[in-house]
Chains A and B, each alone.
Chain A
């Protein structure tokens, strides 16, 4: 089967396609021009959307103008990852806002890709009521098939540990009751992507 069989018709710009699809799937997108703006937007969202404790991944590395830096320490989260790690069940029970970095975006499905090396890290995007993900435009892939070599690399035989990889298309949802669409079941009710 050729790759084209799965291609969307008429995809012009993968970033635009990603934004369109993710938004249609009830995700929210906030463009940012600099890492500082990313920090400001994330902190703003924690303030306006959060109703309780927040925790940020310790490894939000961003590349901008040839430089790479970790912005995690600048995020105003209330629970530090170290404490989360010490008592993850207790922290998960309190968690309201989880902030992570999305390693990739997939344009043709409107999904972000979470790569987690611990299970408590997975909870930041799965047990929170609000999930904020930082995504770099340069990480957006046009097609899901393009993720294949990246998955193979992440899960190669000598990789330790082999991470959990999750594609996330927006808030959690169900239509189990009379086919009525409901957002926010067990996973996040809101997913915000800050796009650098």
Chain B
């Protein structure tokens, strides 16, 4: 019997029923996205910036053995104690031993997710009863006082209102603190100042460890890490081994990369470089201990898919892009490491059970990879975690059904129109809702008996003196549900002088298999399709699809699934979005508008599907529409509409409810635009369903707006 994720669903429902908290989180993540984008625009070459980070992190992880040895040697030569902690217990034991030997009763700490990974505070206080461990980062101190885990990587207490924070410090200090920010901050300073001055041991993390000089770098905005690393007699650093990089050149690039991605600033307010323990007054016998944590990182390095997670620079940008994280927050979408990158990290350091509790919140939109400064393939790592969970615990019924939508579509199409009548009937929809988990509120597309495949067989295919030749990858919807769209796509290309081939044996992209953790099946489909298409590519054909997700699979998912085989890479290099191909190869042919747009009418609203953000973000489609004479305006929140393929078809909190909550900000943008948007153009068949349900606008495919 597969797991039902009851606990996760309860948490999602609780999050959806707390709109105030949800609103604050949405503001925080949107601010993060916007600030990052604005800051990137000030750089000379934002793409090279990203490529450079990838290069530094990839080579650092590849050379980790020698970097580790160099760092340890240089750090020890600086007079420091260095310890390689194989796991959390080893680190806790080391610190307890140090605390006991030095009569430590008070530890001050600056923010460190690595220490939270091993639940250091809890284990230290359990291991030495007279020991107090006090977090000094404001957000961390707030959640420490209420015994909660971080809600967001950068803003751990963002879910707490100002009033709640005032209450927390009132209880802690025993004095009534008014709900005013200056009063709260005054109380915080008074509360923590004696901690800074009186601790015997200060523990920090490190954002970067530099092998060249055996130094560590700690970045904060509050300045607390400066005090934690300066005042106590002993300074102890806990740093994950993946943070070690080689040179100062590389370190200074990463020092800028963190805040650009995390908060959209050029540099974190304080960047502290510590290399050896310095005297404090007349006390020259002070200590610096650097603990390098393994805790599963060596094992991760050996895993060809998961090792990329080690390249994470802990900026939290993926959380700001993630549509479901942005609705439910880190207490639902996380264990200790929250958000998209939190899924593979949790699986590797805390175990599959913990990761599986929130892995299925990933709706495979791919936005985390698009925003990641290190270009980490987070979506595919998450798919791997889902696969392990499914293999161990079984697959959810709606996931099973929806991932086999190709088989279902074939049968429904062959038996149309009766199948449509049956599927659309209230009884069937109630049955599907109750027993199969398919939301009855969703309008399901109708199937056509005369599929694209059948229609293509009867259209003229010869193009005199063709300028180019393509294989049209029809995918699922354009074959079984909207074959007229497919035919329109073909005819427009033919009229533009392009020969179009159709390969009936091609299967739909298989994206649902990736979304639901059925990677073996996804790989089989990828292999099948790539084998067929590679033959055509060899004969000089390009591959064109009208469905953005299909192009996404051809260009990114298939090569990953097929270990970047030559065939998959060749097919990827020759795969194009429909309008990209049209605009690059057929611009000399005029396009006419098929719909009237009055001068005083609102522009057409354009929606960018998530998978299209990894491609052209719709720029070629917009170009074609503008060439036809339309005014077009992109309306976006910067994240997903919420449909996420078949996710939004599923019933309940791990489906429709969450899907609509994710989509609401976008619906509001479309519905409240002035002058009022009447029409939305998008190329995604599933985004169309979502926007039809959530907006007052007519949904149109761009192909229906133009003619040759």
Interface residues of A (CB under 8 A from B): 1-2, 4-9, 21, 25, 84-89, 92-93, 106, 108-111, 116-120, 122-123, 126-127, 144-145, 147-148, 151-152, 155-157, 161-180, 182, 184-188
Contact of B273 among A157, A166, A175 (CB under 8 A): A166
Chain B residues 155 to 210 lying within 8 A of chain A, measured CB to CB, are 155-158, 160-162, 165, 181, 184-185, 188-189, 192-193, 196-197
Residues of chain B within 8 A of A177, CB atoms compared: 138, 157, 160, 162, 165, 181, 184
Question: Which of A1, A87, A144, A176 has the most C-beta atoms of chain B within 10 angstroms of its own C-beta?
Answer: A176
Q: Offer 17 A-B interface pairs, CB within 8 angstroms, sorted by A.
A: A2-B48, A6-B43, A110-B267, A116-B278, A119-B231, A120-B280, A162-B213, A167-B267, A172-B221, A172-B222, A174-B221, A174-B222, A176-B158, A177-B138, A179-B158, A186-B136, A186-B222
Q: Flag B273-284 by CB within 8 Å of A: 1 or 0 each.
A: 111101111100
Q: A110-B266, A177-B162 are in contact. Are A167 and B271 (CB under 8 A)?
A: yes
Instruction: Compute how far the CA of A163 lies from the CA of B215 in the bound complex, rounded to whole angstroms.
Output: 11
Question: Which of B157, B162, B272, B273 has the most C-beta atoms of chain A within 10 angstroms of its own C-beta?
Answer: B273
* B197 A89 Cβ-Cβ under 8 A: yes
Residues of chain A within 8 A of B278, CB atoms compared: 116-119, 122, 161, 163-164
Q: Nearest 7 pairs between A and B by C-beta?
A: A187-B223, A1-B52, A5-B48, A88-B281, A176-B139, A172-B223, A109-B267
Instruction: Compute how far the CA of A21 lies from the CA of B189 in the bound complex, rounded to whole angstroms.
Output: 27
Q: A166-B226, A179-B24, A185-B224 are in contact. Are A86 and B213 (CB under 8 A)?
A: no
Residues of chain A within 8 A of B245, CB atoms compared: none
Residues of chain B within 8 A of A89, CB atoms compared: 197, 231, 281
Instruction: Compute how far the CA of A5 lies from the CA of B229 in the bound complex, rounded to whole angstroms.
Output: 33
Q: A118-B279, A152-B212, A185-B189 are in contact. Are A93 and B197 (CB under 8 A)?
A: yes
Chain B residues 50 to 99 lying within 8 A of chain A, measured CB to CB, are 51-52, 55-56, 74, 77-78
Instruction: Compute how far the CA of A174 lies from the CA of B137 in the bound complex, rounded to whole angstroms.
Output: 9
* B255 A8 Cβ-Cβ under 8 A: no
Instruction: Compute how far the CA of A72 lies from the CA of B268 in the bound complex, rounded to whole angstroms.
Output: 30
Contact of A6 among B44, B165, B189, B193 (CB under 8 A): B44
* B269 A172 Cβ-Cβ under 8 A: yes
Is B422 in contact with chain A by the CB < 8 A criterion?
no
A58 CB → nearest B CB, Å: 14
Is B45 in contact with chain A by the CB < 8 A criterion?
yes
Is B252 in contact with chain A by the CB < 8 A criterion?
yes
* A5 B226 Cβ-Cβ under 8 A: no
Is B256 in contact with chain A by the CB < 8 A criterion?
yes
* B138 A174 Cβ-Cβ under 8 A: yes
Contact of B272 among A166, A174, A178, A184 (CB under 8 A): A166
Residues of chain B within 8 A of A147, CB atoms compared: 252
Instruction: Compute how far the CA of A119 lies from the CA of B275 in the bound complex, rounded to whole angstroms.
Output: 12
* A1 B48 Cβ-Cβ under 8 A: yes
* B44 A7 Cβ-Cβ under 8 A: yes
Is B467 in contact with chain A by the CB < 8 A criterion?
no
Given A9-B43, A106-B267, A176-B158, 12 new contacts (CB under 8 A): A1-B52, A6-B256, A7-B43, A89-B231, A123-B231, A147-B252, A161-B278, A166-B271, A167-B255, A176-B138, A182-B181, A185-B222
* B253 A120 Cβ-Cβ under 8 A: no
Contact of B252 among A8, A118, A145 (CB under 8 A): A145
* A92 B266 Cβ-Cβ under 8 A: no
Number of inter-chain CB pairs below 8 Å: 219
Contact of B138 among A120, A145, A167, A185 (CB under 8 A): A185
Nearest to A2 among chain B residues (CB) is B48
Nearest to B77 among chain A residues (CB) is A157
B76 CB → nearest A CB, Å: 12
* A169 B267 Cβ-Cβ under 8 A: yes
* A1 B51 Cβ-Cβ under 8 A: yes
Is B248 in contact with chain A by the CB < 8 A criterion?
yes
Instruction: Compute how far the CA of A6 lies from the CA of B250 in the bound complex, rounded to whole angstroms.
Output: 12
Residues of chain B within 8 A of A2, CB atoms compared: 45, 48
Residues of chain B within 8 A of A93, CB atoms compared: 193, 197
* B280 A118 Cβ-Cβ under 8 A: yes
A8 CB → nearest B CB, Å: 6
Q: Flag B135-164 by CB within 8 Å of A: 1 or 0 each.
A: 011110010000000000001111011100
Is B556 in contact with chain A by the CB < 8 A criterion?
no
Residues of chain B within 8 A of A118, CB atoms compared: 278-281
* B230 A123 Cβ-Cβ under 8 A: yes
* A8 B189 Cβ-Cβ under 8 A: no
Is B42 in contact with chain A by the CB < 8 A criterion?
yes
Residues of chain B within 8 A of A163, CB atoms compared: 275, 278
Instruction: Compute how far the CA of A152 lies from the CA of B157 in the bound complex, rounded to whole angstroms.
Output: 38
Residues of chain B within 8 A of A84, CB atoms compared: 281
Question: Which of A85, A111, A118, A151 has the most C-beta atoms of chain B within 10 angstroms of its own C-beta?
Answer: A151
Nearest to B279 among chain A residues (CB) is A118
Chain B residues 300 to 315 lying within 8 A of chain A, measured CB to CB, are none
* B271 A186 Cβ-Cβ under 8 A: no
* B226 A122 Cβ-Cβ under 8 A: yes
* A119 B280 Cβ-Cβ under 8 A: yes
Instruction: Compute how far the CA of A163 lies from the CA of B230 in the bound complex, rounded to whole angstroms.
Output: 12
Nearest to A168 among chain B residues (CB) is B270
Residues of chain B within 8 A of A168, CB atoms compared: 269-270
Is B49 in contact with chain A by the CB < 8 A criterion?
yes
Q: A1-B48, A7-B44 are in contact. Are A109 and B256 (CB under 8 A)?
A: yes
Residues of chain A within 8 A of B227, CB atoms compared: 123, 126-127, 186-187
Instruction: Compute how far the CA of A165 lies from the CA of B255 in the bound complex, rounded to whole angstroms.
Output: 14
* A167 B270 Cβ-Cβ under 8 A: yes
A34 CB → nearest B CB, Å: 31
Nearest to A83 among chain B residues (CB) is B281
* A185 B281 Cβ-Cβ under 8 A: no
A85 CB → nearest B CB, Å: 5
B430 CB → nearest A CB, Å: 44
Instruction: Compute how far the CA of A111 lies from the CA of B55 in the bound complex, rounded to whole angstroms.
Output: 26
B632 CB → nearest A CB, Å: 28
A128 CB → nearest B CB, Å: 10
Instruction: Compute how far the CA of A180 lies from the CA of B77 in the bound complex, rounded to whole angstroms.
Output: 44
* A144 B252 Cβ-Cβ under 8 A: yes
Q: A87-B281, A168-B270 are in contact. Are A126 and B230 (CB under 8 A)?
A: yes
Is B31 in contact with chain A by the CB < 8 A criterion?
yes
A55 CB → nearest B CB, Å: 13
